[in-house]
Amino acid sequence: MIKDDTHLLYLMPEPFGAPDCKVGITRLEVSQIRAGTYQQALGPRKYMEWRYAWIGKENAIKELEAEVKKDFRKDILYEGRGYSEWICEHDADDMRKAVIGIIDGLRAKVIPVDHAFLPITVNNLELVKTKYLLNAEQR
């Protein structure tokens, strides 16, 4: 079986109200593992959400993530697992504007996730997967 290389770049607001944003990527086909891990860490009263997201092939999404991290490296307080994706003092709305600018500059072959599916949560992620994995050939 050939794995689908459709990936997702997501912007996840800091869940407790700080003006920070996680910029992460995941392979869409197995994204429920990542989302479930975040939700498990937050508990039953706080919801994991990917407020904004873009879909693309692995190389395009990884290039986009690298460029975002490069542009915001001064706002990443720590390196290493669990830290290097957090952009401090920029909320998800600020980061959305920045990501759009980076996409335009790179002419990246990515598409925004339809607003009808945002924010992505553990409760609607399967709908996102169905829409974008089944339509991957049409892009």
37-96: pLDDT as tens digits: 999 999 999 999 999 999 999 999 999 999 999 999 999 988 776 778 999 999 999 999
80-103: pLDDT as tens digits: 767 789 999 999 999 999 999 999
* Whether the Cβ atoms of residue 48 and residue 121 lie closer than 8 Å to each other: yes
| CA 105 – CA 37 distance, rounded (Å) | 33
Split at pLDDT 50, 70, 90, the class of 2 is: low
**3-state class (DSSP) for residue 74:** helix
